[in-house]
Amino acid sequence: MTRHYTLTISCPDRVGIIAAVTGFIAEHSGFIVEASYHTEEEQFFMRQEIRADSLPFDADEFCRRFSWLASEFSMDWKLADSAQNKRLVILVSRQDHCLDDLLHRWRTKELQVDIPCVISNHEDLRSFVEWHGIPFIHVDMQDKAAAFEKIAGHFDEHRGDTMVLARFMQILPSSLCQRYLGRIINIHHSFLPSFVGAKPYHQAYLRGVKLIGATCHYVTDELDAGPIIEQDTMRIDHGDTVDDLVRYGRDIEKTVLARGLRYHVEDRVLVCGNKTIVFK
Amino acid sequence: MTRHYTLTISCPDRVGIIAAVTGFIAEHSGFIVEASYHTEEEQFFMRQEIRADSLPFDADEFCRRFSWLASEFSMDWKLADSAQNKRLVILVSRQDHCLDDLLHRWRTKELQVDIPCVISNHEDLRSFVEWHGIPFIHVDMQDKAAAFEKIAGHFDEHRGDTMVLARFMQILPSSLCQRYLGRIINIHHSFLPSFVGAKPYHQAYLRGVKLIGATCHYVTDELDAGPIIEQDTMRIDHGDTVDDLVRYGRDIEKTVLARGLRYHVEDRVLVCGNKTIVFK
Amino acid sequence: MTRHYTLTISCPDRVGIIAAVTGFIAEHSGFIVEASYHTEEEQFFMRQEIRADSLPFDADEFCRRFSWLASEFSMDWKLADSAQNKRLVILVSRQDHCLDDLLHRWRTKELQVDIPCVISNHEDLRSFVEWHGIPFIHVDMQDKAAAFEKIAGHFDEHRGDTMVLARFMQILPSSLCQRYLGRIINIHHSFLPSFVGAKPYHQAYLRGVKLIGATCHYVTDELDAGPIIEQDTMRIDHGDTVDDLVRYGRDIEKTVLARGLRYHVEDRVLVCGNKTIVFK
Amino acid sequence: MTRHYTLTISCPDRVGIIAAVTGFIAEHSGFIVEASYHTEEEQFFMRQEIRADSLPFDADEFCRRFSWLASEFSMDWKLADSAQNKRLVILVSRQDHCLDDLLHRWRTKELQVDIPCVISNHEDLRSFVEWHGIPFIHVDMQDKAAAFEKIAGHFDEHRGDTMVLARFMQILPSSLCQRYLGRIINIHHSFLPSFVGAKPYHQAYLRGVKLIGATCHYVTDELDAGPIIEQDTMRIDHGDTVDDLVRYGRDIEKTVLARGLRYHVEDRVLVCGNKTIVFK
């Protein structure tokens, strides 16, 4: 993959936005690799990938020159550089299927990110994480308030971009949710909005649904109610016990988290109210 | 398909049930075409298809002889004869995608049932139904109580086995739900338990889910909360409007209803509390 | 849906195409409703929906003015007007599940097309088609060459845009395939390239596959080898007979054909060699 | 999971088999946990799970007593003991997504097997395998005949039950295929029978299919033509490059292999000609 810049824009919809933006890029011989647009409730959303080596200047200069256009259209915008890896701090508890999956994608370079550390409230996964050469930080959850302060501290210290709750099984305090809004990603083990909260597979079993699912979403103040990035379901039947659902569920959870995280890392996700636009 | 009897049984679980039942069948040279078993919460469920011509007697005699065994095991049981079509009374409103789908399966003999009449609160679909040679009955919903009395009357008069709410869009009174418990099948246009009640596609759109679904279930007192027979989902994305969801949804609704109804008609569905066992 | 023009373009890739096209549209205050781009093998593909009432002139004038730009970029292009329904001529044999499905979508206006006639080599479906007020034309296939000449004649006489083989079960002569290249759509009852030709469900059964599928594709000279527009699969298991596969298959066939046809009708499909780009 | 015996049977179909077998089990107070039946081409297939502690004798004694009945019905049969782990020897090349997935399921006890060793023609995965405490054996493939002899030697020496080709990328010699018939499982990265042989994702890309898939099958003499155990597909679109297909494909491959392997390990797969019966 050659180096590219990803320009994401959100602004009030009107005639001429695409023309203005692509005109600006073309003026500087910028080569557009991928382009996506969406309009929702009179708001316009846009994502462009531009080949870095097609431009006569660097990202900083691009931003300087683009800011004039951006302000004319009242744009909320961002330019990401593919050469600059996002930094994911992963939080886990004892179950490691999502962690295993993410670390595999990381070490095979499928997921091009940095993982400065993994934080857990248990010691179980230390050896596995450290085998990867990634620092493992244990945080005691006895005093929850203090624990979450520590977690935030580690996240900041390691210059984390995104906090990934890879089956962390702890409810984050409101203050943390707000502080890192749009930067905390959770995998919930149900097809939301069904089965919010604890033991969703038990809830699903008791309700007798014929498919189970998983949901990757941004964390907000309200439990399991943040903007949904990705979901999937799979078929079960009456012969499946709760343990079977838990087992099948692991496969959906890790796939859905990996997909959602990839969209996030590639700046494909734009938030619009409590919904997401995912430019695949 | 050669004629067969379908024996469905539910009884307290213990050692020897399968042996006793299959022993009884073998004793009379009964040829088992299909056999399924399930145990849940110490209750045993069983379904057998036996070729009619392999037995030396008819269904009545089978029942007479079997009843002794059945009472020994405290069985709740039933024998259905494939030569005896189930009688479906279909209730519709204005939207006809499920009706069209069911009538097509009926007239091509894919769904082997009788449809003694179609009942609607609108006149729109009269011509289409009558083209099939099926009586179309219009019931005015001004006075709801009276209307539902009339519907029940028509159902009984036409010796209906099962009432199919093929997007009927009216909430049935509690009395009717109880009177025909386990005999009324509804298609709800969401993946229950998400989005109960009215306008589920609007609800789904507002929540920003990434898949939509439909649910075929038995109707009980509680709205959209009866035992689920069949469900399915399909992927949508941010570009889809509510109208798109409604349009995609029609395809899931008719498929899910057709599948669920087929299971019901073939005596594949056994109810266990608020859940179903579906022997496919 | 407000009236809109759909502009589809294919041209050699270079810097500035999007800027030039969207610049042209913006210059005339054209409001872009939907925009999609794709580059493959140094060829650029583009589709834009523009609100008709946002432009100061009609489609003809748009084309006149746009042609200068188009020739500068060596574009292969087309402007479609949503007010101008495509004209589908449907060919069927005896099986009517796809026909039933398409006519339902047509009469409920889900599929906004004209159907000037339905052509068949059997009389079976006359009454159903005529109930819709659509002319039904029977063509005898004894003399195949003559029959296909007649079919082409009817198609031309009814000013058909697209010929839909809705389980027509006859192999078209090469001359016809070439004459209407890119305008004949077939539904094949397997997940191509597996199980080309006759009796694909039997082939699938014998091979013991665990999913079956259907494929909607443009018809070319080579049997079942034209550009694929849409496909889907569904799970089966060892308990399913060939008849079961045929039955399940009908549901996939009609859904896949309906989807593929919709993409085609909405000018979402661009052909690139033997592949399609489908701008959903 | 309490200890159980799995009895799998295949024999000519006739009246009374289920009665005889379940009668035998009931006579000894055997408690049947799960029971499945299937008839195909006048052959009867059966699988029963019996709770070990419900029987008054052990597996050996069960076999001794059952053999009389078995010979009466000309049964091909087997009794597996859940306390006796199957021994999987995994063969890999350089790509480790399937290996990583299997080892994760093994170390979390989701897949209850023994893995006496992992064999590879490359050294790349040694450290990862050895971290699990599993011996890693490198076999040089310069001299293919000798290499496969060595592989067979290691397999036998480690008392392997099943050889798992987890993206091994080498074609096994006919002699090996025959020697371990029904005991070698491969994951092929296409939806067979499409795209047999090398580079299936490139083949899929060139054909322009709209879904890709993977197939888990028993290895036989004929390349990629053995009995299929499990398959799955996923949707792609024109925007996906071959690299994208390869990346998506990894997720299907590992899921399909894990599912197929689980069926095999739990004695749920019975081979019938070139097809499988999978009692899920």
| Pairing mode of beta strands D228-235, D269-272 | unpaired
pLDDT the model gives residue A41: 87
C83, two tokens: 């007010």
Q: What is the pLDDT of residues D78-102, one digit of tens each?
A: 999 999 999 999 999 999 999 999 9
Average pLDDT, stretch A46-74? Answer: 97
* Residue in C with minimal Cα distance to A51: C15
B75 to chain D nearest CA, in Å?
A: 18
Q: What is the pLDDT of residues D24-52, one digit of tens each?
A: 999 999 999 999 999 998 999 999 999 99
Closest residue by Cα to residue A166 from A113, A117, A98, A251: A98
Is B53 a known active-site residue? no
Whole-model pTM?
A: 0.97
Name the strand (E) or helix (H) holding A249.
Answer: helix A242-265
Average pLDDT, stretch B173-184? Answer: 97
pLDDT the model gives residue C41: 87
Phi, psi of D257 (to 5 degrees): -65, -45
Report the alpha-carbon distance of residue C85 to residue C229 in Å, rounded.
20
pLDDT the model gives residue C215: 98
Q: What is the pLDDT of residues C159-183, one digit of tens each?
A: 999 999 999 999 999 999 999 999 9
Does residue B54 surpass a pLDDT of 90? yes
| Band of pLDDT at residue B206, cut at 50, 70 and 90 | very high
Catalytic residue among C96, C101, C224, C267: C224
| Band of pLDDT at residue A258, cut at 50, 70 and 90 | very high
Q: Tell me whether residues B238 and A192 touch, CB distance under 8 A.
A: no
Of B207, B211, B232, which has the smallest distance from its Cβ to A193's Cβ?
Answer: B207
Radius of gyration of the CA atoms of chain B, in A: 20
A39, two tokens: 């309009």
Does residue A214 contact residue A259 with C-beta atoms inside 8 Å?
no
Closest residue by Cα to residue A193 from B251, B215, B206: B206
Average pLDDT, stretch B204-211? Answer: 97
Residues 6 or more apart whose CB falls under 8 angstroms from that of D135 comprise D116, D117, D118, D129
pLDDT the model gives residue B41: 87
- Encoded amino acid at A81, one letter: D
Estimate to the nearest angstrom the gap between the alpha carbon of C6 and the chain centroid.
16
Report the alpha-carbon distance of residue B83 to residue B5 in Å, rounded.
9
CA atoms within 13 A on the CB side of B98: 31
Residues 6 or more apart whose CB falls under 8 angstroms from that of C121 comprise C93, C138, C139, C140, C141, C147, C168, C170
Residues 6 or more apart whose CB falls under 8 angstroms from that of C183 comprise C161, C162, C163
Closest residue by Cα to residue B261 from B174, B140, B162: B162
C242-265 helix and B242-265 helix, angle to the nearest 10 degrees: 170
pLDDT the model gives residue B129: 98
Q: Tell me whether residues D19 and B16 touch, CB distance under 8 A.
A: no
Does residue B266 surpass a pLDDT of 80? yes
Average pLDDT, stretch A210-216? Answer: 98
Residues 6 or more apart whose CB falls under 8 angstroms from that of A99 comprise A90, A92, A118, A125, A128, A129, A166, A167
DSSP string over B77-111? EEEEETTS-EEEEEEE-S--HHHHHHHHHHHTTSS
Does residue D205 surpass a pLDDT of 90? yes
Residues 6 or more apart whose CB falls under 8 angstroms from that of C61 comprise none
Provide the 3-class DSSP secondary structure of residue D104.
helix
Average pLDDT, stretch D112-123? Answer: 98
> Which chains, if any, share at least 3 CB pairs under 8 A with chain D?
A, B, C
Average pLDDT, stretch A7-36? Answer: 96
Does residue B58 surpass a pLDDT of 80? yes
Does residue C1 surpass a pLDDT of 80? no
Q: Tell me whether residues C18 and A33 touch, CB distance under 8 A.
A: no
pLDDT the model gives residue D81: 97
Mutation for testing the D interface, residue in B37, B233, B234, B278 having most D CBs under 10 Å: B37
**Considering only CB atoms, which chain A residues are within 8 Å of D280?**
239
Which runs of E-coded beta strand occur in chain C? 4-12, 32-40, 43-51, 76-81, 86-92, 113-120, 136-138, 162-165, 184-188, 211-218, 228-235, 269-272, 275-278
Listed by number, the residues of chain A in 204-263 with a beta carbon closer than 8 Å to a beta carbon of chain D are: 239, 247, 250-251, 255, 258
C36 to chain A nearest CA, in Å?
A: 7
Report the alpha-carbon distance of residue D90 to residue B142 in Å, rounded.
70
A29 touching chain C per CB within 8 A? yes
Share of chain C above pLDDT 70, in %: 100
D17, two tokens: 């088999």
DSSP string over A77-103? EEEEETTS-EEEEEEE-S--HHHHHHH
Does residue C8 contact residue C78 with C-beta atoms inside 8 Å?
yes
Average pLDDT, stretch A73-89? Answer: 97
D90, two tokens: 């995994």
Report the alpha-carbon distance of residue A119 to residue A125 in Å, rounded.
10
Q: What is the pLDDT of residues C111-158, one digit of tens each?
A: 999 999 999 999 999 999 999 999 999 999 999 999 999 999 999 999
- Encoded amino acid at C108, one letter: T
pLDDT the model gives residue B233: 98
| Band of pLDDT at residue D136, cut at 50, 70 and 90 | very high
Of B96, B100, B131, which has the smallest distance from its Cβ to C131's Cβ?
Answer: B131
Catalytic residue among A224, A237, A240, A251: A224
Q: Tell me whether residues B208 and A228 touch, CB distance under 8 A.
A: yes
Report the alpha-carbon distance of residue D119 to residue D138 in Å, rounded.
6
Average pLDDT, stretch B85-97? Answer: 97
Q: Tell me whether residues A96 and D104 touch, CB distance under 8 A.
A: yes
C197 to chain D nearest CA, in Å?
A: 14
C170, two tokens: 């006859």
Report the alpha-carbon distance of residue A237 to residue B260 in Å, rounded.
13
User: pLDDT averaged over chain D?
Assistant: 97
Report the alpha-carbon distance of residue C39 to residue D27 in Å, rounded.
71
Of D100, D104, D251, which has the smallest distance from its Cβ to A255's Cβ?
Answer: D251
Average pLDDT, stretch D116-141? Answer: 98
Q: What is the pLDDT of residues A28-41, one digit of tens each?
A: 999 999 999 999 98
| Band of pLDDT at residue C252, cut at 50, 70 and 90 | very high
Average pLDDT, stretch B113-121? Answer: 98
